[in-house]
Structure 1
Amino acid sequence: MGEVRATDLAKPFFVLYVVWHPSFELGEKIADAMMQHFRRDLYKNIVGGAGIPVVFRNACMPDNDIPISINPEDSEASAIIALVDDNLCESQSWVDYVKGLSEKTEESNKNGFNNLLFPVSFNKEALHKVNLSEQALRWDSWKGDNNEKTMRLISELTYEFCRMLRHHLAQLENPSNKNLENYLKKVQIFLSHSKHDIDGIEIATSIRKRIHEGHGLSSFFDVNDIPAGLRFDEVLLAQVRISAMIAIHTDSYSSREWCRKEIIEAKAWNVPLVVANSINNMDERGFPYMGNVPVVRLGYDVADVSRIDIVISRLLDEVLKDFLWRCQTHEIRKQLPSRAFLIPRPPELISLSCIPEGPELTDTASTETILIYPDPPLSTEEERLINRVSPNVQLRSLAEWKAGATR
């Protein structure tokens, strides 16, 4: 059973603040969309029941024309999203409020990038009036209607949050001064696809193109990215281990040896993984280890970039979930018994093959292995199946382990 320190309860780990002028009607709709996205079930089980805290700053204090101040030190990490429109820029007190947030985040980031301000520009003139040093997200230059732009904003921010938490995790594991070079490294995406389907190659090419057009992500596209002189198999498997993966499930995918190897390697290393379902006719024998991860219907129309955007956004959510889990369990990891392991997704049969081997012990109780995973607890039938295969492996959700639950 793990101990929960008082500081864990007093200080949230990661908080999002959304700032907008009360006269900006679209601002409220955007803030509501962000609230629904980051507090939904997808994040609830990682963050501890309520999702990522999303706090609004649009209502002014009594006898004042600006909201309550924001203190970045109230959480381990925070992101302030400032929606900069004409209403905000025409009020000097609101301009000063946002500039004050910029100064606070800069002051708090002397040793890292734990608290950042993300301005969102709704027109170029408004951005110039505020005159912030931080690079803005340019809503005003994006194509599409407001719903499409809102989805893009959430996706772009999710990617930036991934960068923030990746740097935070590196600081937890190896405390050092802030490292801009490491922060700027792109999130790698591995495009696993079958070359025996024309659809597979075309879809992977379209996803790669879309990735490079948007978030500043980096993609690994098999032979195109293997340096001359290096062994194909070594580079491929090494790249899987350090990437998030999109598995493009076309008709021949499950029948291809290297597609299966890539999936198994991704599962063994617990990398974020999303399956893009692009079955055209049928898959003769679905590969069993492609389950237990999100599956998104992509189809096989390479011109439908809206579906590609959904796949990429869903993968970014998985990457952010992974960093949230690893950051928030960093201290817990130090308290674990020698045969207890934290895994970032619900356990499955392949999880048993990835348990590190330890020394042989004569005490039966000591040889029990515990796998601790994000809530909610596994269903009874799944747990029974794993127990039938490995009766000495105990499964506990994080909440169960903290509470000292036993079977």
Structure 2
Amino acid sequence: MAEPTNENLGQPFFVVHVVWHPECVLGKVIADALMHHFRRDIYRNIVGGNGIPVVFRSACLPEAGTPIPVSLNDSETSATIVILDEHLVSSAEWLDYVQRISAQVKEFSREGFKRMLFPVSIQREVLAKSSVAQQALRWDTWEGDDDAKVQRLRRELTYEFCRMLRYNLAQLEVPTERKIDEYLKKVQVFLSHSKHDDEGAEIAKAIRLRIYQGHGLASFFDVHDIPAGLHFDEVLLHQVRVSAMVAIHTDSYSSREWCRKEIIEAKTWNVPLVIANSISTVDERSFPYMGNVPLVRLGHDATDAGRIDIVVGRLLEEVLKDYLWRCQTHEIRATLPVRAIFIPRPPELISLSCIPMVFPEDQEGSAPQDLVLIYPDPPLNTEEERLLSRVAPHVQIRSLNEWKAGAFR
């Protein structure tokens, strides 16, 4: 098996820059929250953080009034968040610094949506003092305390980053001139639920309503239905394959044939998946393939908008991770032999059932040759590795960083 040879394996695909004036106390709070969320919290199982790099620009150079410049060439694509407050817009040096960033982003606009600028206006008064404020996220108009606003900012930035990465993934797969309607295209959401529990249908309706009422979510997610006149099972399974899924796990969910089919289809096609735990009393036989993905306690109260927001937020994060993984590994996949397969989440037994055991070039009757299954870090624990190795001894299972380091047995 060939070892990694891509010269840019160490270069991040996507980087987030956060810029704020050093006297803006709230700017530091926002920057830290974004760093923890995108670098570490989205990748909760990764000790020390190994998610999206977040670079700060606030501390000024010696004998200078601004930080070192933001570099937009150190990654394939990037997002720059500028916290606009009275300190920044009152400084000619800082306004010039931000304007230079804006000019760099515009230079890259000829390549599509590879570099984006997201100003955040935390005070209404700044809008008239900076030209970049015209496209600002209006923190100053949002309801709630600073913690609530930070959560909303993370959510809004998450689905904007999803748009960026989806656009860039399409560009990688089929390089061509792409228009803004492709950037704004929605992500399909499939709400998998049992109609044999009253709560299941009610919760599905509540999630649908919350998405369409929530600011920004309706412009990103589309909760779809199956049109009349089409064959139910064929359309349903197709929709699962092209969607992100929320599985509403009520008491009867695991006992329903179509709910189980939807979970297996979602796992087979590696779609972003979140389990919303809404067990009321007991699940007599929990379906074994509902693990290995985020599990969020939703409860069976369809009116709890706060819990629904948490479920939808986790789904957004799963969509972001999926697009980022596919972007990060696109060039690597193109240079590898067919026997290296990339999957967007840690492998499990169902992962082994979805990979070919025989390839076209294998000679009839010959023993299976080694296959490498590559997944996002962190590495599996020893118990999981042993189990998978017993089931498929000819499959080498490596996290991406293990594979980059040439960790082959």
TM-score category of the 2 structures, normalised to the smaller one: over 0.9
Give the aligned partner of residue 302 of structure 1: 302
Give the aligned partner of residue 329 of structure 2: 329
| Cα RMSD (Å) | 2.3
Out of 158-167 and 206-215, give the one that drifted further. 206-215
Q: Over residues 235-256 of structure 1, what are the superposed CA-to-partner deviations in whole Å (9 max), with x where a residue is unaligned?
A: 2111111111111111111111
Distance, in Å, in 2 between the alignment partners of 1:309 and 1:230 is: 32
Which amino acid letter does the alignment assign opposite residue 60 of structure 1? C
Aligned pair 1:191/2:191, yes or no?
yes
How far 1:365 sits from its partner (Å)? 6.6
How far 1:45 sits from its partner (Å)? 7.8
How far 1:364 sits from its partner (Å)? 5.2
Give the aligned partner of residue 354 of structure 1: 354
Distance, in Å, in 2 between the alignment partners of 1:362 and 1:402 is: 32
Confirm or deny: 8 A CA contact 1:3 1:402 kept in the other structure: yes
Which amino acid letter does the alignment assign opposite residue 256 of structure 1? R
Q: Over residues 48-76 of structure 1, what are the superposed CA-to-partner deviations in whole Å (9 max), with x where a residue is unaligned?
A: 96322111112222222222221312221
How far 1:78 sits from its partner (Å)? 0.8
Q: The residue matched to 1:5 in structure 2 has which SS? A: coil
How far 1:208 sits from its partner (Å)? 1.3
Which amino acid letter does the alignment assign opposite residue 377 of structure 1? P
Distance, in Å, in 2 between the alignment partners of 1:384 and 1:133 is: 55
Alignment of 1:194-205 (within 5 A): 194-205=194-205
Distance, in Å, in 2 between the alignment partners of 1:135 and 1:239 is: 34
Which amino acid letter does the alignment assign opposite residue 376 of structure 2? P
Distance 1:12 1:348, change over 3 A: closer
Give the aligned partner of residue 7 of structure 2: 6
How far 1:158 sits from its partner (Å)? 0.9
Confirm or deny: 8 A CA contact 2:82 2:119 kept in the other structure: yes
Which amino acid letter does the alignment assign opposite residue 248 of structure 1? I
Q: The residue matched to 2:384 in structure 1 has which SS? A: helix
Confirm or deny: 8 A CA contact 2:18 2:57 kept in the other structure: yes
1:397 to 384, 396, 399: 399
Q: Over residues 356-398 of structure 1, what are the superposed CA-to-partner deviations in whole Å (9 max), with x where a residue is unaligned?
A: 3533435857633321112222222222222333333332222
Give the aligned partner of residue 380 of structure 1: 382
Q: Over residues 283-327 of structure 1, what are the superposed CA-to-partner deviations in whole Å (9 max), with x where a residue is unaligned?
A: 111111100111111112223222212111111111111111111
Confirm or deny: 8 A CA contact 1:113 1:178 kept in the other structure: no
| Percent of pairs with identical residues | 63
Which amino acid letter does the alignment assign opposite residue 25 of structure 2? E
Q: Which runs of 5+ in 1 are unaligned?
A: none
Q: Over residues 182-215 of structure 1, what are the superposed CA-to-partner deviations in whole Å (9 max), with x where a residue is unaligned?
A: 1110122211111222211221122112212232
Give the aligned partner of residue 156 of structure 1: 156
2:221 to 207, 218, 222: 218
Out of 136-145 and 253-262, give the one that drifted further. 136-145
How many residues are treated as equivalent by the alignment? 403
Alignment of 1:315-326 (within 5 A): 315-326=315-326
How far 1:135 sits from its partner (Å)? 2.7
Q: Which runs of 5+ in 2 are unaligned?
A: none
Distance 1:256 1:91, change over 3 A: same
Which amino acid letter does the alignment assign opposite residue 398 of structure 2? R
Distance 1:364 1:135, change over 3 A: farther
Confirm or deny: 8 A CA contact 1:117 1:134 kept in the other structure: no
Out of 385-394 and 17-26, give the one that drifted further. 385-394
Query: Which consecutive aligned stretches of 4+ in structure 1 deviate over 4 angstroms post-superposition?
Result: 362-366
How far 1:228 sits from its partner (Å)? 2.5
Distance, in Å, in 1 between the alignment partners of 2:3 and 2:325 is: 16
Out of 95-104 and 396-405, give the one that drifted further. 396-405
Confirm or deny: 8 A CA contact 2:184 2:220 kept in the other structure: no
Distance 1:129 1:75, change over 3 A: same
Confirm or deny: 8 A CA contact 2:102 2:117 kept in the other structure: yes
Q: The residue matched to 1:190 in structure 2 has which SS? A: strand
